[in-house]
Structure 1
Amino acid sequence: MELTHINEEGRARMVDVSEKLDTVREAVAIGTVSMKRETIERIKEGTISKGDVLSVAQVGGIMGAKNTPQIIPMCHPIMISGCDISFRIDVENNKIEITATTKTVGKTGIEMEALTAVSTAALTIYDMCKAIDREMVINNIMLVKKSGGKSGIFERKGL
């Protein structure tokens, strides 16, 4: 398999996508933040002193998606046509599950934006709750689905 982000000299390059066709592209990524039961309960009750944790994390995740090219070196700046972040509080397992869905119409994929959205939302949860729980763990950030472009559809099996 050819590495597309390496030039003839073996150095990093940004891939030229000018010849690609615009297609509708969508990506879904997930991740989790594990924490103490007390932290989960306080998030649910809205008693974290910094405010509504999941509302702030949702905005943080969207901001992360929008700013992906500023933090991932070879990422193309693309026009994001949609980004949604959702959360599921799993009290039994002391974790919050994060899902990010990103969409665009363009020449290159939107997977990095979905992954960055999940990562930023998870980091925001950590930041909002670190005063009461420094043992939180951010886990299992992964792409679960993508569609559009030359490579077509990808769906992670076994989830």
Structure 2
Amino acid sequence: MGFTHLNEQGEANMVDVTEKAVTQRIARASGRIYMKPETLALIKDNGHKKGDVLQVARIAGIQGAKKCSDLIPLCHPLMLTKVQVDFSFNEADSCINITTLAKLAGQTGVEMEALTAASITALTIFDMCKAVDPGMRISDIKVLEKQGGKSGHFKLSD
């Protein structure tokens, strides 16, 4: 199977989804942001002087998913019906785990929207905390699962 975003001449090409069936499509993605234990405690205790870091990051992640086609040139603009951003603290590794979900009934998948939500969420945490911890590290941005469409169900096996 070739790259769908290239035409026969090798030029950039937005995939034509006109004839694809409308199906329910769901994607889950994740990412992590590592930081100093003191920074993690500051976020967890909502003690940051800029406010509630996770709530701002959650809103940014949702907004990011909605703006995915503005950021990634060949993504289709989508009418998302649900975007969710969740957090869990991993004190042993001094990081915040980010999980996202993007959902719609449409003709193309939502993996890029879920990945964008995870990325923008992590970047927002970094932006809000960089003054106290410039050495934070974002990693492990990945698709965990996708459902719907012709290619069926995919679930990342760890």
TM range (shorter): over 0.9
Displacement of 1:8: 2.1
> Partner letter of residue 99 of structure 2?
T
Q: How does 1:64-143 map to 2 (within 5 A)?
A: 64-143=64-143
Task: Tell me the distance in 1 between the aligned counterparts of 2:139 and 2:31.
Answer: 6
Displacement of 1:46: 1.2
> Partner letter of residue 110 of structure 1?
V
The RMSD of aligned alpha carbons is 0.6
Displacement of 1:122: 0.2
The equivalent of 2:33 in structure 1 is: 33
Displacement of 1:41: 0.6
Task: Tell me the distance in 1 between the aligned counterparts of 2:27 and 2:151.
Answer: 13
Task: Tell me the distance in 1 between the aligned counterparts of 2:30 and 2:155.
Answer: 13
Task: Tell me the distance in 1 between the aligned counterparts of 2:3 and 2:95.
Answer: 36
Task: Tell me the distance in 1 between the aligned counterparts of 2:145 and 2:28.
Answer: 5
Task: Tell me the distance in 1 between the aligned counterparts of 2:9 and 2:25.
Answer: 32
Is 1:60 aligned with 2:60? yes
Task: Tell me the distance in 2 between the aligned counterparts of 1:23 and 1:45.
Answer: 41
Task: Tell me the distance in 2 between the aligned counterparts of 1:17 and 1:5.
Answer: 12
Segment drifting more, 136-145 vs 5-14? 5-14
TM-score, with normalisation over the residues of structure 2?
Answer: 0.98
Q: Which runs of 4+ in 1 moved over 3 A?
A: none
Is 1:8 aligned with 2:24? no
TM-score, with normalisation over the residues of structure 1?
Answer: 0.98
Aligned pair count?
Answer: 158
Is 1:18 aligned with 2:13? no
Consecutive unaligned residues in structure 2, runs of 5 or more: none
